[in-house]
Amino acid sequence: MNILQIISEALESLNANKLRAGLTILGIVIGVAAVIAMLAVGTGAQDTILGTISGIGTNLLFVFPGNFQQDVRNEQPLTFGDAAAIADVFQAPHIQAIAPVIRGTISANFGGETASFEVLGITPEFETVANFPLTEGGYISEDNVNGRASVALLGPEVADKLFGRREALIGETIRLEGQPFRVIGVLQSKGGGSFGSQDNIIMVPISTARLRLLDRERDQLDVIYAQAVSADAVPLAYEEIAQILR
């Protein structure tokens, strides 16, 4: 039997059983399409997760007061002293840089538009430690912190809600808790994160946030961002921070 005869008999068989052949072909098509769709969904989810991780950095640690896994009787707040100890290269050689932060929720107003946003009180180191670049303007400086300046960086969602745009906002004045603040920069979009949307935030100098917006104790911090020297050094950096805080 030659190849032509085989093809001819196959076609005759298909023609004699059109319904069964059609259903078989349909099953094969649906099966292949389902596999392709599942692979596409898996790849998309992986890309999203990797994008979120790379957005905040693979070598970043978050230090919070207390313990999320068990109750602590005498919980102590984080302080600037803790941040300085973690930044000490002799005590924590695998820590590259730190950024102390205080945070809370405040009301913001511009032109009759009022909404509640998360505010972060930060230092200049936050830009590189937490990987928060700008689309326009400049970052909070050491002079801003020392002078308790009334300046603010806006997340893109904040800009949308208050101004209806994300460009040409430098020099605009908004009111935070009724107090005037000058916009000096707009943050790049980073999407959602472990602590909610990273685009729906306002950043101000840490000294300004402590004294005028969030009423924190002089030395108190809510979180310390700690950047390890590399992704591989994160476990060692974690142990060094735990030992310091103990």
**Average pLDDT of span 136-150:** 94
State residue 217's pLDDT score. Answer: 74
Highest mean pLDDT among 18-22, 178-182, 242-246: 178-182
Is the Cβ–Cβ distance between 95 and 240 less than 8 Å? yes
State residue 76's pLDDT score. Answer: 79
Within 77-233, residue ranges assigned H as helices are: 80-87, 126-129, 142-146, 156-163, 206-208
State residue 86's pLDDT score. Answer: 93
Of residues 98 and 24, more confidence is placed in 98
Mean pLDDT of all residues in the chain?
83
Q: Look up the pTM and report it.
A: 0.72
Is the Cβ–Cβ distance between 168 and 192 less than 8 Å? no
Of residues 226 and 40, more confidence is placed in 226
State residue 53's pLDDT score. Answer: 44
